[in-house]
Amino acid sequence: MRKIISIANQKGGVGKTTTAINLAASLAAAERKTLLIDCDSQGNATSGLGADRERIRERNLYHTLIGKVPLGEVIVETPMPQLDLVPADQNLIGIEIEFVSLPDREKKLRNRIREMERSYDFIIIDCPPSLGFLTINALVASDYLIIPLQCEYFAMEGLGYLLNTVKLVRTRLNPTLALGGILLTMFDSRNLLSHRVSDDVRRHFGPSVFKTIIPRNVRLSECPSHGLPIILYDIKSRGAMSYMELAREILINGRM
């Protein structure tokens, strides 16, 4: 059965796109057919998987959402055989205004996914750093939400707003949406603050927090500029091992 997972946090710089790319790649490496949907107008997931921006200019998520092209026709291949991508670009910036008067506008992405004929085990959605139209569309389309949370000061600032948004989406638009887990990112084992944040988050949210922790890792920061997920860029790095462990936790330990 296909599982759809949104990666969301309205705070920027928390490792959201890094998580979307590398979780998707790790699931694909485990021979699960995976689709990554870039739902952010910055298109970082698109460039992070090496997609040619010129080639996707007329066929990307924007053109699907406005009904010009079916979702299946904007999918592009990535360097990994089991991983495909729905690219995005800056056209998404104005889509909320374009759709302001349309009925059921929060269900556009869900409807496009349902219309898609291709079969995937997992669909990962990289959301923009906001709680606007595109993030709501992603949550309405999803079975689960993963929240990356950086191990830094003010880590939980704004988390309550996101969780309240999830409650509203459940009540009004998608009653089956579940919290897949909170993922601690940018953990520095040498930094006392990282340990304190980790302890605080686990104390507040208990089993909702993944056991896997994503460390600060130079190789993770480098791989997007090469258009590769970490497991193709440096599979022996701590970042690669952490994301493979996260995929293992999802697949084997029954988190979703």
- 24: enclosing H helix or E strand: helix 16-29
Q: Is the pLDDT assigned to residue 248 strictly greater than 90?
A: yes
Q: Residue 191, Cβ neighbours under 10 Å: how many?
A: 14
Confidence of residue 36 (pLDDT cuts 50, 70, 90): very high
DSSP-derived secondary structure letter, 130: S
The amino acid sitting at 76 is: V
Confidence of residue 14 (pLDDT cuts 50, 70, 90): very high
* DSSP of 176-195: T-EEEEEEEEEE-TT-HHHH
Q: What is the pLDDT of residue 152?
A: 87
Q: Is the pLDDT assigned to residue 154 strictly greater than 90?
A: no
Mean pLDDT across 77-97:
94
Domain limits, the chain: 3-251
Q: What is the pLDDT of residue 100?
A: 84
Return the exposure string of 197-217: e unless at least 16 CB atoms fall within 10 Å of the residue's CB, then b. bbeebeeebeeebbebbbbbb
Q: What is the percentage of the chain residues whose pLDDT exceeds 70?
A: 100
H helix runs in 104-255, sequence order:
108-115, 133-141, 159-172, 192-205, 218-222, 230-233, 238-251
Digit-coded pLDDT (tens) for 172-203: 999 999 999 999 999 998 889 999 999 999 99
Q: Is the pLDDT assigned to residue 102 strictly greater than 90?
A: no
Confidence of residue 54 (pLDDT cuts 50, 70, 90): confident
Q: What is the pLDDT of residue 123?
A: 98
For residue 123, the cross-strand partners are 4, 35
Long-range contacts of 52-56 (CB under 8 A, 24+ apart): 53/89, 56/87, 56/89
The number of helix segments (H) and strand segments (E) in the chain equals 11, 8
CATH of domain 3-251: 3.40.50.300
Confidence of residue 204 (pLDDT cuts 50, 70, 90): very high
Average pLDDT for the chain: 94
